[in-house]
Amino acid sequence: MIQKEFKDLVFEFTKRISDIPGVQSLILFGSVARGEAEAGSDVDFLVISDTSEPPDRELRKHVGEIALDIEKKFGRGISLIFTNKNFDGLDRQFIEEVFREGLILYGRTMRVDAEKLKLEPYSLVCFSLKKIGRQDKMRLKRALYGHRTVKRHRGKIYRSEVSGLIEKLGGRRTGIASVLVPARSLRELTEVLDRFGAEYEKLDVWISQV
């Protein structure tokens, strides 16, 4: 929620910017958007143009003049960042911050390609073992998560480890009966679950690359 002492500034700036041709959206971000601003905090705005080209000089100038006028009126600083509708020139961390914390003051809801945020498609699969016999439960768990064996022979200990399907697919276990795997590998997982008669549900998600 925007703090009371910043509301009038934000409202007037939004009203005046909304009359400018070429502005697709206006986003408030930073400490004011989070409701954590201090007395001397700047008010941060992201101005998004309606083209795939960089925002032109006239647009920047017009918005900048309005910002200066409002700074003088309210005695507060305004920080502006300009971009086009493709978010060109902005880094991934900043885009994620705006999506997470930003407030859309004017215009369309923000949309950005998954590639821009370096997101990869994954499938979250939750399954049930209730209708599976005890032996098949053990076999399925070994198939999914692998297993370790320890053998003793003539006083020596031999250890072996076999990787499970989830590890081979580049996925990970997220709960007692839930796993996350790359979407491209979903079919391999469901084939195993079907073979053992496990019931399951899936949810498509996007995960940030690390």
Decide: pTM greater than 0.85. no
Answer yes or no: CATH 3.30.450 is held by domain 119-208.
no
> pLDDT tens for residues 92-143?
788 888 888 889 899 866 565 555 556 678 899 999 999 899 999 999 999 9
Domain ranges of the chain: 4-107, 119-208
Q: Per DSSP, which regions of 71-118 are E strands?
A: 78-83, 103-107
Task: Specify the CATH architecture of the domain 4-107.
Answer: 2-Layer Sandwich (3.30)
**pLDDT range class, residue 194, cuts 50, 70, 90:** very high
Which residues, 6 or more positions from 47, have their beta carbon under 8 angstroms from its beta carbon? 17, 23, 26, 55, 59, 63, 80, 81, 82, 83
Question: How much helix, strand and coil, in percent to the nearest 5, is found in the chain?
Answer: 35, 30, 30
Q: What is the pLDDT of residue 117?
A: 57
Q: What is the pLDDT of residue 107?
A: 86
Q: What is the pLDDT of residue 116?
A: 57
**pLDDT at 158 exceeding the cut of 80:** no
Q: What is the pLDDT of residue 91?
A: 82
**pLDDT at 84 exceeding the cut of 80:** yes
Mean pLDDT (whole number) for 163-172: 93
Domains 4-107 and 119-208 share a fold: no
> pLDDT tens for residues 14-73?
999 998 999 999 999 999 999 999 988 999 999 999 988 988 899 999 999 999 999 999
Q: How far apart are CA 123 and CA 155, in angstroms?
A: 46
Q: What is the pLDDT of residue 128?
A: 93
